Structure 1
């Protein structure tokens, strides 16, 4: 008998991998991927929150130990999205005669302070949720302080409102801030905006409400105005009849204030006919 026929068949086919194992591996990969994305998103939000924290500390001139940068001494009002009213006591020096000790009067007043919900405090996630809502100038500033302020503001990602005024701020300062920060509303009346100044940083910004009244804003800067504008205040500026047609491209504009500008009634009437979607306010200079 043939020897090969006496040996039993020992070759076996490998078992097929079960569908449960395959789907478990796929689900595990999906979970790990989503976990990594979630961790990256949380880290990014925490980083943005830390930047807002640092900027607020410097602008208010009160370093809390989390930043080594020199605080800006000019006064700024910083408003947060999550705030609550709180009674605050401040001391005011009273007038005294020479040689007498200085006496102080305690004054209580309500002040909006940043406040987190209890669950945010318990979980230690303040940096994920605290964001600056608006920033307002409250005093006079040196040129060095303005430059430091512009650097700090340019670190932010978004502001609902920015209030700046006075000749310490220039058109270049405003342009730089708008180029780096998404701002919904800017009050920049009385800033140092000279005739012929340009502000290219405004062009691609999402600003909806812009107030540059009581400046020397002129036709040269109209080309830099963003298409997102809904409200524009140019009262007591240097806009002339020759530059009015440049406003027609602002198709989202609903309110335009051109009161007391060197423009004529006839030219304003023609502009109103070209921009029926926009309410234009005007009075002679």
Structure 2
């Protein structure tokens, strides 16, 4: 009885075949779904890169299109009001200063693939930009969401800068501070700025500085030895430029002891009259774009 109930070797072999076939089918389906998922993710990433590139290209075109070619009355800024710079992540292009056009590698020209890589890197708004041009320029800049460097050459009140800059993430910001500035800049913490240039500004411009700062240029600002304590708590600060301020050499040495990992740049006030006067406005250095 027991011997007759045991399966024969041939019966066992035939029973295992369906199991092996089902296992192969399951793994094939899993591989298929994984491949489809990876393809979808790849197309999604390519589509996102293409969309971002098209936005940057259009913003660059809008910011540099002459007013005579614009269908928007008083919309587009003149060529003398806004300068832009492009960046390509790989050589041989690198960054181009004050360039409204971009020199592309040969392979990008041949494949028309520059839209995948070219990004708007910097925007420089000059001092003589009009109100409507300024509004339009920032309407375009807001489309980017983030920018590596932004230079605003026109003096604007703190509230106006807050409205224009709060929606953005900016790595380097160069401001032409209003000498009659009464309120500090509340937006600096929000935009995540790492490098800030506010030369020849009143003391209030140095209030509420963000922890994200790595480089700070306050050349010519109304800062003295008693004002240096506000910089000590900037733990991430790597470079501080105190040139042509009322800070003394003794104050700089004491500050350096409190901030040993920060490089402090200092030059004494230039006295042209022998009376300890500040550097005249026509001699003040301007930040390069």
TM-score by length of 1: 0.70
**CA apart distance, 1:247:** 1.0
1:214 aligns with 2:200: yes
1:277 aligns with 2:281: no
1:197 aligns with 2:177: no
SS in 2 for 1:23: helix
Please report the RMSD computed on the Cα atoms of aligned residues, expressed in angstroms: 3.5
Name the CA distance, whole Å, in 2 between partners of 1:266 and 1:41: 55
**Contact 2:70–2:76 (Cα < 8 Å) also in 1:** no
**Contact 1:272–1:278 (Cα < 8 Å) also in 2:** yes
Instruction: Tell me which stretches of 4 or more aligned residues in structure 1 moved more than 6 Å.
Output: 63-69
TM-score by length of 2: 0.69
Encode CA deviations 1:164-205: one digit per residue, 9 max, x unaligned: 2132x44345445554433332222x3336444222322144
Name the CA distance, whole Å, in 2 between partners of 1:58 and 1:78: 11
1:183 aligns with 2:173: no
Q: Give the aligned length.
A: 244
Residues 185 and 240 of structure 1: CA distance in aligned 2, closer, same or farther (over 3 Å) = same
Give the match for residue 234 of structure 2.
Answer: 250
Where structure 1 has 5 or more consecutive residues not aligned to the other structure, the ranges are 1-12, 85-110
Encode CA deviations 1:97-147: one digit per residue, 9 max, x unaligned: xxxxxxxxxxxxxx7732444443454433211211222234611222222
SS in 2 for 1:141: coil
Within 5 Å, give how 1:122-137 maps onto structure 2: 122-137=110-125
**Contact 2:238–2:263 (Cα < 8 Å) also in 1:** yes
**Contact 2:217–2:241 (Cα < 8 Å) also in 1:** yes
**Contact 1:155–1:180 (Cα < 8 Å) also in 2:** no
**Contact 1:59–1:75 (Cα < 8 Å) also in 2:** no
Where structure 2 has 5 or more consecutive residues not aligned to the other structure, the ranges are 1-14, 94-98, 270-277, 279-289
Task: Please point out which of 220, 223, 240 is paired with 1:239.
Answer: 223
Name the CA distance, whole Å, in 2 between partners of 1:31 and 1:193: 61
Name the CA distance, whole Å, in 1 between partners of 2:226 and 2:137: 36
